[in-house]
Structure 1
Amino acid sequence: METNLSISSDFASYVYWTQELRDNTLDQAQLETRCPLDNGRHDCTSTPARYTVNRLDKLPLELLTKVLLQLDIPSLTCFRAVNHRTMELVNSIRQYAAIIQHCPNIIRAIVSIQADGFDCATLYNMLCTTRCSTCNYFGDHLYLIDCRRACYFCFVQRPEYFPLTSREAYKLLTSNAKPQSRAESSCKRRELAKLPSILSLPGRYCCAYNNDGTEGKLQQRRLRLYDRQAVVQSLVGDALPRSDRATGEPKRHMMAIISAPVLLDGGRQVDHGFFCVPCREEGDMDFRIKYTTEEMSRHFASFGQVVKSPAPGRYMHVTKD
């Protein structure tokens, strides 16, 4: 647990547990090996005069920062790699520096899966929020195709977070259409290419257990995955179709998901959130809900303070009479 917030050891002992919550998302995709970052390895404070960004150097720094914040993360990463001057410029962006400091794996994941449907400013602003995009719980994950916060319940159950493969997206677009000419088909594919998408990483996804003791469903190929909601709303205009989780093909529903803390105080602090151990141990159906530090206090006020259970090493809620 990494947090700059003031939390007592007694408090942390009964509100934080993650070892048994292994959901096989992008967090388990060996991101540090796949996408090593060079942030912090180079000293660009005394940039030699021969390094420039050509005409961009004529812009005021404030305006240049606004321009760079409108770049998607893969493009911003490529721009940063041009020379020492561009590296210095990108490193000086407060929002980018906060993300790199507290959420480097999110940057690694975005670059690795080529998630270019949103810019750096959008990513930072989303990391500064707490609510799930489709409910009122704390959204402790990001859906990286279009940068939305999602809680556990939503990203494993709602079809909005279950992306479509290229074949499925194209089939959905043409399922109710008349036979198309080659030109019309090509046009449909060009329109599809403009929609938010990612290129998935090979690995194991979901929380299913296999006969050999491994976790998750193995996906060996990289898949082009499209946001289901964008396909429907932009090109079909129909109701969002149900996902195909029930068919036994669950690999995709965590391929675009990664855990995401909340950035506080202008990116200077971070809150990873907490699970409530007493709720888990008491068999509460909502034990998978995660809370920010502030929400944890309200949770205890509603369900009772925490005391040690008669069973060794366990805790429970106790309400006042």
Structure 2
Amino acid sequence: MYSPTTEQMQVVHQVAAAYWQQPVDKVLSQLGSIEVLKFTGGKVAGNFPAHKSFPSVFFKVYFYDRGYRFETAGLKAAAEMTPVEGVRVPSVIAFMPEQKAILLEKRAWEDTSSPWKRLWVNKLGIDWFKVGAWLRAFHDTQTTYEKNDYFLRKKFEKFESHLNDLKHLFTPDQVDKMNQIYNSAREYFEKNQCEWVISHGDFGLDNIKKSGSKLEIIDFEDCQPAPREFDVLNCLARLEYTGRFPHRGSTYTEISHQFLEGYNRPLQKSDRYNFLYLLIKLDMLETYFRRSKDGSFGGGRRAIFHLSQTRCLAQIDQFLVQLIKMEKVC
């Protein structure tokens, strides 16, 4: 992990001192105990140690407005939504807009998303009905028919980039079909209205945590209006691997059925559905392809990524074949 810059850590220190209600020069020893857990260039996240009557807390400091605004909007919407028994989000200690910082209660979770745990998803004890019910309640807090041009622009750009980088993995006919799906989606969004909801933006196993009998939804930094299908597809498409060995063949069917039963609203196939599903699968494929070539991972990990790449390619091929069959019937 790269380290934050000196200027970024100065902001983190100012946030910590403000939380402890002390001048920076009075808490120098405590500042040295700050634990940085994640740094992405535009964000520093970690833990502030306890000091006097102030407990240890988890912090996020953003260095761009959009990330702070998105996460703040998501956390506030989650706090105001109809609660779902057994599912929660971490409590907010403070929003600090001047420093673009958020302080959250410090939590400890079971490991549910490491590579080996992912091989045994059905053993994690996640209640997928409740996950679906929570997402539906979250979505329903904010709905609109006003298009989010920023979301569309970023997704179209990502689709173009991934397809350009990965086209050597596909046949010319497959590339042509994917371009047709892309063009149909652009035309659809230009000519039609659809329902947009407040979207978590990165709803999946990585951000569904477990603490005892409770589930916790975390990381709202990509929260923004999106088509209703997006979070649902993002979660389920990334779990399709559970339909293959070493899982039982019925595992994915059971997970998706429980999730959609909890969500309690059927998803209609459409040009936007096809585009979003294919975008998510291309995003997965790009990750698998890149990591399978990354020498910083051990040979065993790279082999798993290569296998995941092969299976993802097969799923995309199956999706395209089924789509062509449906079009011929229609």
User: One fold, TM greater than 0.5?
Assistant: no
**Which structure is higher in RCO with an 8 Å CA cutoff and minimum separation 6?**
1
Identify the TM-score tier after normalising by the shorter chain: under 0.3
- Larger helix proportion of the pair: 2
TM-score normalised over the length of structure 2 = 0.19
> TM-score with structure 1 length normalisation?
0.19
Which has more radius of gyration? 1
